[in-house]
Amino acid sequence: MDGDAWLDVADIATAVGVTPRAVRKRIPGFVSRKVPGVGHAGFRLQLLLSSLPEPWQAAYWRRVNALPLPWQDAVLTKALPAPEPEPPLPLP
């Protein structure tokens, strides 16, 4: 997988060893997007892996590579770009 993966703030924070708040404070320096959240959250932020500092990217890949193979597949699948939403149906 290349650096075009989108990662949740919590996943980055866990890999780097900082709090999610510490990552959110640095969001203006990264490429980010809002995706629909669950429950009352409204939305959640994801960051483009290739926009993160090199040490953070390396920490993420070290963490992924330390997982057993079936779990690696699940983590990498989660990080794939989200599919484009389907256009709404026309009104009758």
Tens-digit pLDDT profile for residues 2-20: 557 898 898 899 888 899 9
Q: Is the pTM of this model over 0.75?
A: no
pLDDT of residue 1: 47
Q: Domain for residue 69, yes or no?
A: yes
Q: What is the pLDDT of residues 18-45, one digit of tens each?
A: 999 999 999 899 999 988 877 776 888 8
* Inter-residue contact 19 to 59 (CB < 8 Å): no
Whether 82 is in a domain gets the answer no
The whole-angstrom separation of Cα 22 and Cα 53 is: 14
pLDDT in tens, 41-72: 688 889 999 999 999 999 888 888 887 766 65
**Domain extent for 57:** 6-76
In a domain, 90, yes or no: no
Can you tell me the distance from the alpha carbon of 74 to that of 69, in angstroms, rounded to the nearest whole number? 9
Question: In angstroms, rounded to a whole number, what is the distance separating the alpha carbons of residues 92 and 82?
Answer: 29
Q: Looking at the 3D structure of the chain, how many domains does it have?
A: 1
Asked whether residue 25 is assigned to any structural domain, the reply reads yes
| pLDDT value for 36 | 85
